[in-house]
Homo-oligomer: A and B are copies of this chain.
Amino acid sequence: MKSNLYERKAQIFKALSNPVRLEIIDFLADGEKCVCEIVENLNYEQPHISKSLIKLKEAGLIKDRKEGLNVYYSLKICCMGDFFNCLNKILESEPKL
């Protein structure tokens, strides 16, 4: 396996290594959302959300679709759900958080 493949994977995990971005991913698991919906539902400033979305998109984890003034984001990687479910199970049974 090539070194740049590790770099690429590291980029994906780096995009996921932030609580705000994880919360966004979780929210998008419900289906496509526009930025305004994300801003309304999660409690962060709009520029913060916007920057987070861009980082997730650069990593290839989400994709966007423009429609008029709105930009809709949705998940792009299918296997994320399984991994997150597994992590959740492990974390729920963790002795101390």
| Residues of chain A at the chain B interface (Cβ within 8 Å) | 1, 3-14, 16-20, 22-23, 26, 60, 77-80, 82-84, 86-88, 90-91, 94, 97
What is the oligomeric copy number? 2
Question: Are B83 and A4 in contact, with the CB atoms below 8 A?
Answer: no
| Across-interface contacts of A60 in B (CB, < 8 A) | 90, 94
Question: Are B97 and A8 in contact, with the CB atoms below 8 A?
Answer: yes
**Main DSSP-derived SS at the A contact region:** helix
Question: Are A10 and B17 in contact, with the CB atoms below 8 A?
Answer: yes
Closest 6 CB pairs of A and B: A79-B86, A6-B19, A83-B83, A14-B17, A13-B17, A13-B16
A77 CA to B89 CA, complexed, in Å:
11
